[in-house]
Amino acid sequence: MLAYLRHNWSRIVVDAAMLAAWLLVTTLVFQWFALPWWLLYVVVFVGVVVYTRVTPSWRRPYKRQEP
């Protein structure tokens, strides 16, 4: 687990920062325009799903040897 975290630490930090920025921006926009909160949850969920689909997955620092 530590090797995995060491290998992907920069990617994890970037993903967390992008998620935090997305949450902040969408929340501020929804508060500014007084939009319904249920729609905020839909927009946040769709944004997270789209982000996970367009970014590559995290990598293992090693490959398991298949017998």
Is 63 domain-assigned?
no
Is 64 domain-assigned?
no
Is 20 domain-assigned?
yes
Q: Which two tokens stand for residue 57?
A: 């997955």
pTM summary value: 0.76
Is 42 domain-assigned?
yes
| Residue bearing the bigger pLDDT, 39 or 57 | 39
Q: Residue 67: pLDDT band by 50, 70, 90 thresholds? A: low
Q: Which two tokens stand for residue 19?
A: 């998620």
Is 67 domain-assigned?
no
Is 59 domain-assigned?
no
Handedness of CA 26, 39, 15, 53 (dihedral sign): negative
Is 39 domain-assigned?
yes
List pLDDT tens digits, range 21-55.
999 999 999 999 999 999 999 999 999 999 999 99
pLDDT exceeds cutoff 70 at 18: yes
Looking at the structure of the chain, the number of domains it has is 1
Is 40 domain-assigned?
yes
Domain range for residue 41?
Answer: 2-54
